[in-house]
Structure 1
Amino acid sequence: MSTPLALHRPGPAAGRGAQVLRRAAMPDFFGWLEHTRTAGGCARPIRLTGTLAAVDPDSGRILRQQHTDELPDRTLYKACGNRRESQCRDCAWVYAGDAYQVVRCGLTGGKGVPASIGRHPVVFVTFTAPSFGAVHHRHIPRHTCGNRQRCDCRPAPCHARRTAARCQHGRPAVCFARHDADDPQLGQPLCLDCYDHDHQVVWNGFAGELWRRTKQAIERRLAALCRRRGIPHVQVVSDSGKVRRVPPVRVSHGKVAEMQRRGAVHFHALLRLDGVDPHDRTALMPPPAGITVDDLDDAVHAAARQITATTPPHPDQPQGWPVTWGEQVDVQRIGTSAGDVTDGKVAAYLAKYATKSTEVTGHCSTRLTPDTIDAYADPEGDHLARLINACWRLGRPTHSTTAIGATTTGERQGRLDDQPNLYAGLRRWSHMLGFGGHFLTKARRYSVTFGLLRDTRATYRRTEDEGSTDTLTVGTLTYAGAGWLTDGDALLANTAAAQRRESRRIGWEELAHDAWLAGAAA
């Protein structure tokens, strides 16, 4: 039986406790809890109204039909699916679990990915942004701790110099502090006027293009290495029926973007060497015997040093800005022995950062508009305010400029393709400090997809609830709103979801413990 919505909306004087009691006293309370189970834990679920129909997929016949007016609250609740932990912790928890599976399956196999890829050479690479000005940092010359997660090593002085130097604006260019890990000064410029905020937000905006060119350079270097070592190309048939000759090795990647405290992104990437099957382009084969992880390591370092680009002209910078990687390019080989970077550690690390955004910088907001930009941007403000202001100013509408062709010098470089309003993305992504890319991306052949994991989970739930997957659920639904009707509803639904998660966690631990006992007894 449905309940009028008016009964769920107590007056402003009623507190959360009164809302909880009102809801718990309703006769359909347990039905409401079960109804909200799929969205339980979500901070701001989507409310939908309309019709749900169970359809026979073979004949198309409608087996049963139900309108949301017959459901509790006369609405259907759906989790928001936001990946950001700061916005919705529960949905981010689900996304992090999917991200872990996507990354892990690309390293060890599973969920349709062959286990043989666990023998493919893999490196874990960190690409950092260049320096845009001196910032307070925490540097540990030599680690003596046993666990980096609980590192208690004494850091070196921040910016130590023999002389009390000052910048051109008269501010100290030295800092002898040994910053703690949670020091709010970390990532802040020593001099705000010396720091190149424009260059940093432009770098954030074009970092995705720099990554694309870098991966291309890695694959081209490996292909050239195959030619020098006499490893022939492979003939494959394209979808159009044409025969093409392709290099016998390719690189599949899974990549996560992480925002640093100074507001610049850097990339953590898993690069896996794969071979090419001439008869099945989708097959995952090991690379040729003549190409090793050492070659992949060398190709990464060479591409990071050589690939540079120059952005198109801008009224504020007619010659454009250079876009390059920073000096620190860390390459670690994935191993499974103790002390090495293991696949499980890497997958958990990337999954954790897949749910992060700009929280580490101290800024977290939704997309900015002309009505809200003044609350965050200030050309004379702090570091974050100047970065947001640079995004908004550089992303203003400008006239199209003349395209400039690629040039070649001692290093491989080129000018990005010129298009009208190419900088407009900076304004659109000003709340992200100019970075508009996805925080987790992967190559098509690297692993399973998020869509496959979501479909599998939906099929499992449908089987669990209905006992069969022979019917197809078709919904004709419209958006009715977002969020729980009352704070009391949010408390009840989220508490029930937390209890279910804890129960599942305990069950997993018990199963793991039983498996360990069985293995020890054997």
Structure 2
Amino acid sequence: MDSTTLAPGLVADIIARSETTGWEPWLSHVAGAAGCSAPVRLRGDLHTVNETTGQILSARSTDTMPDRVIYKACGTRRASLCPTCAKTYQHDAFHLVRSGMTGGKGVPESVTAHPALFVTLTAPAFGPVHTRALTASGKVRPCRARRDADTCSHGVRLACHTRHDEDAAAIGQPLCLDCYDHDAQVVWNVASGELWRRTRINIDRGLARVAKAHGIAPASVRLRYVKVAEFQRRGAIHFHALIRLDGRIPGDDAIIPPPAALDADIIANVVAEAAASTRFRTDEHDERPEGWLIHWGSQVDVRQIELGDDELSENHAAGYLAKYATKATEDTGHLSGRLTEATAAVYADPEGDHIARLIAACWDLGAEGGEWIKLRRWAHMLGFGGHFMTKARAWSTTFGALRDARAQWIRCQQEVDAEPAETIVLVNYLRYDGTGWHTEADALMASSAAARAREQRQLAREALDELNTMD
């Protein structure tokens, strides 16, 4: 940090920190949450206990620590709220997804030979929107070039000859706001989780049929998956999923090779047929007595994953899913917390822009009550209330196991001379004291220290890679 570029108040607070707790002791104390944008402050007592005898080996109070609290990272997955914690979540998601394709972390390496697919399922069209597409040679196509384009009842010509840049604000915006079916889109978002569930059932039924056709007992095969939800620029949710075929022993979750007769092409056909055929109608609503028909859009992409494939390898697929697991509505331009009667009016406007109309549709349709109240509950998510990352239980490891392993590793670094780890437990009595850093100077010093630590780790990785290359 260059003191010449800091405001006088920040400099004074940094000096005050040095004179009270000292920089190094304080930075050491907050190291676990140093890069967090809004750490949780905890106050109370900490005990180290011998698990076998119940003897308290040591006891400490946060009153003896700098600031009289412990700082804990917020742990959010959303990069827009805390980039550092989201990066940790992204790394965990990457290893969780990748281990289900390459083995490790409790998954046998034999999974590399299992048929695996990368599947993308999108929402149907609710009206023409501005898009950006590439030709086979990589050139940008005109958005919606139409010589004989119609003019809608609102006087808008439904064509666009612009070649949009990647970050163009027009992408995802309807050509005519008044023609666009905002109600149908938010209903689709709220029903997308049920559509995925029914699709999974139909995939399992299709797998059972092809297994029987090949003389294989349906109970001896199973599809396992991991999926993430992603918002398109138009505000409609779509899903990316990795699907792996495993053999199965009834009553046992062990991951074993599937029968050789069922290959990736067969499974791809099963998935594509299930996606095309799955549809259902929602309950009735005053605005649509017959309900809305829910189905996937025409853009269903099913591709095989092969180890070492330059176009779609296991690393590409895992990185892609992990990246979108840290996002929500950011790409639509909207970012807010849960809405209330008081705050909904700030974002919802049936005569406003595209996102404002989607939020207004959620709020208005949710007034019906019953099951439709979910639209109001998830209006800040444009109707989508599902998890942004889900997986089958036996796909691979869990986030909890990864966090426990990281905590255990950190504990081992700090307790070199302690008794064997298996005889010791930590018993803490902590209460919530607040959220965030006490001062802007504290936040600046913590984030700067975390940035330096990340740079050092990156340099260490590069040096290790160089040594491995030399070997």
- TM-score, normalised via structure 1 length: 0.86
1:112 aligned residue (106, 130, 135): 106
1:258 is matched with: 230
CA distance in 1, matches of 2:366, 2:56: 52
Distance 1:164 1:27, change over 3 A: closer
Structure 1 SS opposite 2:211? helix
Find out whether 1:335 has 2:288 as its counterpart: no
Structure 2 SS opposite 1:336? coil
CA distance in 1, matches of 2:470, 2:20: 46
2:226–2:241: 8 Å Cα contact kept in structure 1? yes
User: Letter of the aligned partner of 1:500 in structure 2?
Assistant: A
1:124–1:332: 8 Å Cα contact kept in structure 2? yes
2:295 is matched with: 324
Give, in angstroms, the shift of residue 15 of structure 1. 2.4
Find out whether 1:445 has 2:388 as its counterpart: no
- Structure 1: gaps spanning 5 or more residues: 1-12, 145-152, 234-246, 399-420
1:382 aligned residue (348, 353, 356): 353
Structure 1 SS opposite 2:117? strand
2:4 is matched with: none
Runs of 4 or more consecutive aligned structure 1 residues displaced over 2 Å after TM superposition: 13-18, 24-29, 336-340, 467-470
- Written as runs of structure 1 = structure 2, the 5 A alignment for 1:344-423 is 344-398=315-369, 421-423=370-372
Distance 1:74 1:220, change over 3 A: same
2:428 is matched with: 475
CA distance in 2, matches of 1:345, 1:452: 23
1:44–1:483: 8 Å Cα contact kept in structure 2? yes
Deviations 1:28-48 (A, max 9, x none): 331111110011100000001
Distance 1:158 1:27, change over 3 A: closer
Give, in angstroms, the shift of residue 141 of structure 1. 3.0
1:290 aligned residue (246, 249, 261): 261
2:413 is matched with: 464
- Structure 2: gaps spanning 5 or more residues: 1-6
1:229 aligned residue (214, 230, 236): 214
- Written as runs of structure 1 = structure 2, the 5 A alignment for 1:21-420 is 21-142=15-136, 144=137, 153-163=138-148, 165-233=150-218, 247-278=219-250, 281-398=252-369
Find out whether 1:429 has 2:378 as its counterpart: yes
CA distance in 1, matches of 2:329, 2:171: 15
Deviations 1:192-237 (A, max 9, x none): 110010110111111111111111111111111111222135xxxx
Give, in angstroms, the shift of residue 27 of structure 1. 4.7
Give, in angstroms, the shift of residue 96 of structure 1. 0.3
2:77–2:85: 8 Å Cα contact kept in structure 1? yes
CA distance in 2, matches of 1:76, 1:447: 33
2:21–2:66: 8 Å Cα contact kept in structure 1? no
- More helix by proportion, 1 or 2? 2
Deviations 1:105-146 (A, max 9, x none): 00001111111111100010100110000000012232x2xx
2:460 is matched with: 507
CA distance in 2, matches of 1:338, 1:76: 46
CA distance in 1, matches of 2:261, 2:353: 53
Structure 1 SS opposite 2:428? strand
CA distance in 1, matches of 2:323, 2:215: 42
1:334–1:340: 8 Å Cα contact kept in structure 2? no
CA distance in 2, matches of 1:336, 1:27: 52
CA distance in 1, matches of 2:200, 2:299: 17
User: Letter of the aligned partner of 2:143 in structure 1?
Assistant: C
Give, in angstroms, the shift of residue 16 of structure 1. 2.2
Aligned alpha-carbon RMSD (Å): 1.4
CA distance in 2, matches of 1:497, 1:490: 11
CA distance in 1, matches of 2:217, 2:84: 50
Deviations 1:66-117 (A, max 9, x none): 1111110011100000110000000001000000010000000111111111
Structure 1 SS opposite 2:253? coil
Distance 1:335 1:41, change over 3 A: same
Structure 1 SS opposite 2:387? coil
Aligned pairs, how many? 461
User: Letter of the aligned partner of 2:265 in structure 1?
Assistant: D
CA distance in 2, matches of 1:199, 1:441: 25
2:247–2:258: 8 Å Cα contact kept in structure 1? yes
Structure 2 SS opposite 1:282? strand
Structure 2 SS opposite 1:441? strand
- TM-score, normalised via structure 2 length: 0.95
User: Letter of the aligned partner of 1:192 in structure 2?
Assistant: L
CA distance in 1, matches of 2:21, 2:46: 24
Identity %: 50
